[in-house]
Amino acid sequence: MPWQELLGPLQRLPQPTALDGWFAELQSRGTDGTVELAILGGRLAATPGLAFLAGYQAALRRLWPAAPGGLGALCATENRKLRPADMQTRLDELTLTGNKDFVIAGSAAAWLLVPARDEAPGDRPRLSLCVVGCDERGVLIEEGPRLPLVPDIPHGRLRLERAPCQRLAGDGWDDYVKPFRTFEDLHVLVALVSWLHGIGLECGWPQRLQLLLLGILAGAAEVSRMPPMEPSTHLLLASLNAQFEATATELDAALMSGPEQWRRLWQRDRNILQLASSAQAKRLAQAAAVFALTPEGGARSA
């Protein structure tokens, strides 16, 4: 789908009665890549929550290009911990047993990516990434309470009891869990900026603000092509976040001057972009050290 179509006037999809139906309609529009999917999803979303969902699904497909249709989720954390050594979910002869904290989209999800321990007794912790169908035996998704952020997107807790699975090639931690952090940060930012761009078109926001938002989308298209674990990728992704943060004053003023519904939605959900801020700051510090950038608030000595 060319930029001209992505950036021009588009009709939002109505608020869905079922998330899987909404995403199926989005997928049917046809996009050439994951950033395009995130941009289109943001433009067609009636809420920031739906934009977030589109960005998250785009990130999953950047991680695993062979992903099937329908909604998916990466389920990694256990008891709010993410390190391989803290995980107890086990892979045993292509079956999974264990629990995971969070399933984005809850029971609307059709498939899951689940990292699980598979090292021999006494060996250092090692993860494999496994694909699980949500309709398989031994798979239970317990619905969770609505969250204060993006409450229109449900979530659940995953329980697995000898659930059949498919193991993906590669290391579950280095090849999947770690890169996904970067993919998710990028694609969710893209989808939410695209949602704001659509609001700006509808409400006649100042041209300068619109151009600033478009610049972030253009930069994201380049960053999406870069290796996710490279310091240069983390540095450029941090620059996109900084560009977006620099629009805050103009963005708030534009939202205050328009329909209250958009302002309320953005004020409610905007902090979804801050959930990974500590991990982002750590990656930025490491990348800045590689490229000898002056730390924030610091100055080079003569």
**Per-residue confidence (pLDDT) for residue 61, from 0 to 100:** 97
Q: Tell me: the pLDDT tens digits for 281-296? A: 999 999 999 998 887 7
Q: Is the pLDDT of residue 8 over 90?
A: no
**Per-residue confidence (pLDDT) for residue 9, from 0 to 100:** 86
Domain range list for the chain: 7-61+175-290, 72-167
**Per-residue confidence (pLDDT) for residue 301, from 0 to 100:** 43
Over range 148-152, report the average pLDDT: 95
Over range 1-22, report the average pLDDT: 88
The rounded mean pLDDT for the chain is 94
Q: Is the pLDDT of residue 228 over 90?
A: yes
Print the SS3 string covering the chain.
CCHHHHHCCCCCCCCCCCHHHHHHHHHHCCCCCHHHHHHHHHHHCCCHHHHHHHHHHHHHHHHCCCCCCCCEEECCCECCECCHHHCCCEECCCEEEEEEEEEECHHHCCEEEEEEECCCCCCCCCEEEEEEECCCCCEEEEECCCCCCCCCCCEEEEEEEEEECEECCCCCHHHHHHHHHHHHHHHHHHHHHHHHHHHHHHHCCCHHHHHHHHHHHHHHHHHCCCCCCCHHHHHHHHHHHHHHHCCHHHHHHHHHCCCHHHHHHHHHHHHHHHCCHHHHHHHHHHHHHHCCCCCCCCCCCC
Q: Tell me: the pLDDT tens digits for 91-134? A: 999 999 999 999 999 999 999 999 999 998 889 999 999 999 99
The listed CATH number (3.30.465.10, 2.40.110.10, 1.10.3080.10, 3.90.1150.10) that belongs to domain 72-167: 2.40.110.10
